[in-house]
Structure 1
């Protein structure tokens, strides 16, 4: 199998949506077609600075999508630079172990370099051992701890 990565195209909507629904299911998020449709709109139009990348099987003329990555720009005031934040990365379970995630990560890095970004950053679940083996090969884990504050909620 030969894997290439390219920006998402309008024709990718159906397959991308199935992959994104798989991503949501992996993280035990509820089945929510409206959330998938909203994210597709953002990814396909660049809204919120989001770029959608897809991994494609180039073998024998195939154009099947094998995985997706959604990245967005963010400001880094402490370094006066910008970075790319990898919000979502997902590989079709049938294509895992074939370099799809690595190809998507390398393309995110190449996109960051082309744009002059200083970092590609992402988070993952601490128990996502399979993905972390890939991430540890291409990036460095940080010592930072992530917090979520629910807006409008007092402690």
Structure 2
């Protein structure tokens, strides 16, 4: 990853690992994230995802941008995934969300940089993520960081297959 440490620090914010006391603020952010992608959200999903994030044995990890007053402004969830062609784990950025009123100020870029740094520390050769085709604002950020791949993604709903 090239050095982007020169990025201006948004006054009064810090990027850090998600902590147990962040639960309420994290839930609010994650509900906004699900709403943005028009995905249903309920207490079971929130509880399960939170338990994964708080379990040191689970691969899902989380980082947040926190204001001095403790308000969370952005989140990132990421994890290792096996890359068989390389014979090692790489990184996958599952979720990245910045509150709409905070967008354009560099928080998304700083979160990606923080996840990339964590990935380097874990020995990942690369960090991968996907976004919606129409997510123009995020794609503008991502296009400034790296190139989109030539791979096309498919999701096969296993609920629709019936009993095998």
- TM-score, normalised to structure 2, is 0.86
Distance 1:46 1:88, change over 3 A: farther
Residue 77 of structure 1 is matched in structure 2 by 84
Which deviations, in whole Å up to 9, do the C-alpha atoms of 1:15-59 show, x marking residues without a partner? Answer: 0000000000000012322211211111122453011110122xx
Q: Which runs of 5+ in 2 are unaligned?
A: 1-9
Cα RMSD (Å) of the superposition? Answer: 1.5
Q: 2: CA distance between counterparts of 1:26 and 1:132?
A: 15
Residue 116 of structure 2 is matched in structure 1 by 109
Aligned residues: 151
Structure number with higher helix proportion: 1
- Contact kept, 8 Å, 1:43 with 1:51, in 2: the verdict is yes
Q: 2: CA distance between counterparts of 1:23 and 1:54?
A: 13
| SS of structure 2 residue aligned to 1:17 | helix
2:14 to 4, 9, 14: 4
Q: Which runs of 5+ in 1 are unaligned?
A: none
- TM-score, normalised to structure 1, is 0.91
| Pairing 1:121-132 to 2, within 5 Å after superposition | 121-132=128-139
Q: 1: CA distance between counterparts of 2:136 and 2:109?
A: 15
Residue 98 of structure 1 is matched in structure 2 by 105
Q: 1: CA distance between counterparts of 2:57 and 2:36?
A: 25
Residue 55 of structure 2 is matched in structure 1 by 45
2:75 to 68, 77, 91: 68
Moved over 3 A (4+): none
Q: CA deviation at 1:111?
A: 0.6
